[in-house]
């Protein structure tokens, strides 16, 4: 099966309706990641089929879990984004979402800047800075994908939220011990199972708010 057919099948299974232009950008992102990976080792996954399931579809699973209305017109930050995951796929999928990627490693930030140019992502920006050095406020949600333990995520990124904003942590198996160690003043609002076609593993999106 071609990568394009696999992408269309995965999107359909997740209930995501994307235009041909959006699908082309998602495939172009995989091609660009594959190209840069040969030199810069941005991700341990080398196979494009695995990139589709483990990176693209995994990132996009946030959309059906939250609902598109939770993203439209919002300003999000993606912290510790590495190769731009989940930020770049989300920016492609949701044109009304303004997304800032925060990545401290220059080679990874450089890749993301190149992806922004080549994919024409006007709603996506890159900050090559430490998350704790960013000014307070400005974001309706801050998302992370395997960035840190929940307590560290709250400590490092909690200040970025606007009043009423949410921290969104993408995790594998539900991390009960990490949830128990959430700092005082923060609480788990919801734990949403993420279903990724072709990926036989538990995935969860934890929604954390100020208590």
Sign of the dihedral through C-alpha 34, 61, 98, 156: negative
Q: Which of 8-12, 153-157, 168-172, 197-201 is predicted with the least confidence, judged by mean pLDDT? A: 197-201
- Does the pLDDT of residue 1 top 90, yes or no? no
Q: What is the pLDDT of residue 19?
A: 98
pLDDT in tens, 40-97: 889 889 999 999 999 999 999 999 999 988 898 999 999 999 999 999 999 999 999 9
Domain ranges of the chain: 3-210
Q: What residues contact residue 20 under an 8 Å CB cut-off, 6+ apart?
A: none
Q: Which fold has domain 3-210?
A: Rossmann fold (3.40.50)
Question: Can you tell me the distance from the alpha carbon of 107 to that of 126, in angstroms, rounded to the nearest whole number?
Answer: 12
Cβ contact 14:61 at 8 Å = yes
């Amino acid at each position: 099966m071609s990568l394009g057919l696999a992408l269309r099948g995965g999107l359909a299974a997740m209930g995501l309706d994307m235009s041909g232009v959006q699908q082309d950008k998602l495939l172009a992102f995989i091609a660009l990641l594959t190209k840069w990976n040969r030199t810069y080792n941005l991700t341990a996954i080398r196979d494009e089929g695995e990139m589709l399931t483990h990176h693209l579809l995994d990132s996009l699973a946030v959309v059906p879990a939250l609902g598109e209305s939770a993203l439209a017109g919002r300003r999000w930050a993606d912290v510790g984004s590495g190769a731009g995951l989940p930020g770049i796929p989300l920016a492609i999928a949701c044109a009304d979402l303004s997304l800032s990627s925060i990545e401290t490693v220059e080679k990874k930030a450089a890749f993301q800047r190149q992806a922004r140019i080549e994919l024409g992502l006007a709603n996506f920006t890159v900050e090559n800075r430490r998350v704790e050095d960013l000014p307070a406020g400005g974001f309706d949600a801050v998302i992370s994908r395997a960035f840190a333990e929940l307590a560290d995520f709250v400590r490092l990124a909690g200040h970025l939220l606007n009043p009423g904003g949410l921290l969104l942590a993408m995790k594998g198996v539900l991390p009960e011990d990490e949830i128990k160690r959430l700092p005082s003043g923060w609480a788990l609002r919801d734990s949403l199972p993420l279903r990724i076609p072709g990926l036989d593993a538990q995935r969860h999106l934890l929604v954390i708010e100020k208590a």
